């Protein structure tokens, strides 16, 4: 990792260091994804089977995971592995259950009652990637809140492996989180299948889950189509920003940076520290620790566009963090909670020496489906609310309409909408008639 002194940098260089890696330009990506979507809308299951063979190199006889395959997946995992998945699911459920909204009912004026009600999205599709590594944790992060929201239809897609099966841990996590139907589909074709439906795959109303640029582009395209499906939010490569003072342990910091760098070559990891000695120690630890890691080539690629930046004080570090708006923010600081009020834009925050980013990825209970690429400035981490719709209700008595009806009538006429005014005026006149002797 390269090291910089923030105050020595030009404005242009500062902007470069806080810029995300630019993905390889594929001018044909949108049209190629559109072609896949059109093919699936036209040919349904036949297109899905053909694309799975063309792209994944696997010839399937059926798209849906069978009950026997679920059972086999359970047997393939050790009791320790099954217990870990169940414990993670329990923690995720505990945190997300607390997010279920209470019914809101307010009398805004005498005789005027307003309510806000929540209803589950009827049909949701969950996408679990399995590119360079299967992600059973993502199955939990999507499946548990969908179950808590009580979405009636909950399906999942995950890419097929070379042996024609979906990863065993992903299937077990799906079962633990209440997902009964899983399909052996990956990439843009999975998104298209869920968005439009086929003979086998049910159509959904909203698609959730991270993925590569093909998945992201497909989610964008079906979201724009009124006949498609909404998406959760835009996403990009994973990232972490660590803020550390001179008291932090450099081996802990390096481990956190490396854990995020191994996600992919397009990931980015940043360290902001007030101590040049700390920066030097972390660089040494990164070199020392990465040598023993299995995904070294991926890590080195990610570190190529990652940086260690020495800043003059923690106030500057927090300002830069808010500007960057990281997916993951780790505060390796003495009395880290003291600085939490200064955090305004981050997907998920980890306080202190004993909160590695890994626990958020797996089992602390918070959700690891987070806004990336600076979207933390305007988007939140995934939660139960994303699987719910809200609607408002108003109920008025005669007296209630008498009280606020003239207000509505006046505002309608200010806007030149006399039919709106008439809808109120007619009722007020009827009340006056009933009251006449």
Calculate the alpha carbon distances from 254 to 28, 261, 321, 411 in Å.
Answer: 38, 10, 18, 61
Cβ proximity of 143 and 369 under 8 Å: no
Length of the chain, in residues = 437
Angle (CA) 299-331-290 rounded to 5° is 20
H or E stretch at 323: helix 314-324
Residue 56: DSSP 8-state: I
Burial tier of 414 (Cβ tally within 10 Å: 0-12, 13-18, 19+): exposed
Give the DSSP letter string of 153-210.
Answer: EEEEEEPPPTTS---HHHHHHHHHTT--EEEE--HHHHHHHHHH--SSSPP-SEEE--
List of residues 6+ apart from 106 with CB closer than 8 A: 113, 114, 115
Residue of 69, 217, 239, 327 marked catalytic: 327
Q: Is 14 helix (H, G, I), strand (E, B) or coil?
A: helix
Angle (CA) 243-249-252 rounded to 5° is 80
Residue of 263, 305, 328, 368 marked catalytic: 328
Calculate the alpha carbon distances from 103 to 96, 113, 114, 151, 390 in Å.
Answer: 17, 13, 11, 18, 10
Annotation marks residue 368 as catalytic: no
Annotation marks residue 327 as catalytic: yes
Q: Kindly report the number of other CB atoms within 10 A of residue 44's CB atom.
A: 17
Cβ proximity of 127 and 159 under 8 Å: no
Cβ proximity of 364 and 88 under 8 Å: no
Q: Is 235 helix (H, G, I), strand (E, B) or coil?
A: coil
Cβ proximity of 296 and 321 under 8 Å: no
**What are the residue numbers of the active site?**
327-328
């Amino acid at each position: 990792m390269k090291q910089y002194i923030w105050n020595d940098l030009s404005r242009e260089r500062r902007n470069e260091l806080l810029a995300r890696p630019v993905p390889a330009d594929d001018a044909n990506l949108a049209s190629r994804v559109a072609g896949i979507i059109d093919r699936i809308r036209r040919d349904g299951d036949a297109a899905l089977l053909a694309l799975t063979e063309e792209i994944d190199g696997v010839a399937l006889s059926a798209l849906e995971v069978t009950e026997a395959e679920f059972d086999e997946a359970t047997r393939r995992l050790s009791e320790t592995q099954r217990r870990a998945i169940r414990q993670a699911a329990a923690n995720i459920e505990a945190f997300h259950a607390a997010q279920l909204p209470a019914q809101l009912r307010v009398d805004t004026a005498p005789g005027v009652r307003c309510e806000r009600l929540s209803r589950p999205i009827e049909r949701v599709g969950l996408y679990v990637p399995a590119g360079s590594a299967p992600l059973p944790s993502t199955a939990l992060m999507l499946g548990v809140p969908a179950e808590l929201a009580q979405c009636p239809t909950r399906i999942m897609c995950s890419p097929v492996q070379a042996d024609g099966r979906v990863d065993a841990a992903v299937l077990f996590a799906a079962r633990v989180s209440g997902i009964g139907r899983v399909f052996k589909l990956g990439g843009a074709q999975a998104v298209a299948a869920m968005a439009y439906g086929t003979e086998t795959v049910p159509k959904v109303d909203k698609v959730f889950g991270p993925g590569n640029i093909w998945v992201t582009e497909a989610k964008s395209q079906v979201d724009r189509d009124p006949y498609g499906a909404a998406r959760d939010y835009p996403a990009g490569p994973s990232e972490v920003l660590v803020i550390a003072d001179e008291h932090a342990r450099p081996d802990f910091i390096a481990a956190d940076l490396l854990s995020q760098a191994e996600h992919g070559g397009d990931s980015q990891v940043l360290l902001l520290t007030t101590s040049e000695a700390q920066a030097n120690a972390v660089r040494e630890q990164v070199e020392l620790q990465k040598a023993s890691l299995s995904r070294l080539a991926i890590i080195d690629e990610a570190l190529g566009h990652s940086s260690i930046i020495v800043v003059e004080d923690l106030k500057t570090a927090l300002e830069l963090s808010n500007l960057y708006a990281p997916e993951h923010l780790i505060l390796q600081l003495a009395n880290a909670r003291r600085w939490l009020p200064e955090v305004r834009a981050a997907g998920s925050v980890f306080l202190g020496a004993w909160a590695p980013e890994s626990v958020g990825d797996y089992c602390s209970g918070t959700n690891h489906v987070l806004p990336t690429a600076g979207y933390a400035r305007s988007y939140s981490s995934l939660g139960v609310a994303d699987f719910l719709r809200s609607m408002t209700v108003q109920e008025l008595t005669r007296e209630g309409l008498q009280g606020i009806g003239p207000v509505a009538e006046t505002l309608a006429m200010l806007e030149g909408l006399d039919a709106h005014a008439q809808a109120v005026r007619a009722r007020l006149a009827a009340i006056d008639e009933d009251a006449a002797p």
